[in-house]
Amino acid sequence: MTQVRTGVEVMLLIVFALLVVTGNMVVWVAIFVVGLLTAALFGRYFCGYICPMNTLMRISEKAAKRMNWQSDMVPAWLRHPSMPWLVLALMISSTIVFRQVLQREFPFLLILLALAFVMTLRLKPWAFHNHVCPYGALLRLTGKYARFTVSVDATGCVNCKICEEVCSANAVTFNQTTQAAAVDASLCHQCADCIAACPADAINYQSHRR
């Protein structure tokens, strides 16, 4: 599964690069909109398999782990709930100004790519995913209603917390009521890392009735 995911990510990163070079970013926007709308059915698969920022962050995270650069401490101001929405507002306003005044496209997505890569050299990936990324903030709104999502069978969970450790989105927590791990669908990237890591095979991607 990991090899399949990596292959898909690399292929779509190449597609993204080609769209940037050819100036066809409207196609990428359309892909995101489809991912946003269908997240209510299939979860945030856009983040786990399509997003170029996440692909680059996986590379920087590996480098950071080797150099022991990463920290679990995220500044309080960065964790403010309004942060991703401020970034989104800045992205929209700067795009409008550049188009109206300079008749140019503001490379905000490329700036976010660079920011995501650099941030992950110092902080855990979830710091950017959950507290900075404007696309992630939008996907949380629809992803929390996912009809199909990664979930934990509480009766099979052995409380090893390995799934918490491997989750780059910080979507897995320990539920004191059920005494088992639980996955937050609004944060989960549906990447299946926790499924592969679970020694008890208690985690699956399945229908989630509400």
**What pLDDT digit, counting tens, does each position of 85-131 carry?**
999 999 999 989 988 888 787 888 899 999 999 999 999 999 999 99
Q: Which tokens belong to 47? A: 């983040």
- Chain segment 130-172, per-residue pLDDT in tens: 999 999 999 999 999 999 999 999 999 999 999 999 999 999 9
Looking at residue 210, its pLDDT comes to: 54
- Going along the chain from its start, the domains and CATH numbers come out as 2-143 (no CATH), 148-207 (3.30.70.20)
H or E stretch at 41: helix 25-42
pLDDT at 13 over 60: yes
**Residue 205 backbone dihedrals phi, psi, to 5 degrees:** -95, 115
Of 126, 108, 1, nearest to 58 (Cα)?
A: 126
pLDDT at 1 over 80: no
Q: Please, which residues have CB within 8 angstroms of residue 147's CB and are 6 or more apart in sequence?
A: 40, 41, 42, 207, 208
pLDDT at 72 over 80: yes
- pTM as predicted: 0.90
Looking at residue 127, its pLDDT comes to: 96
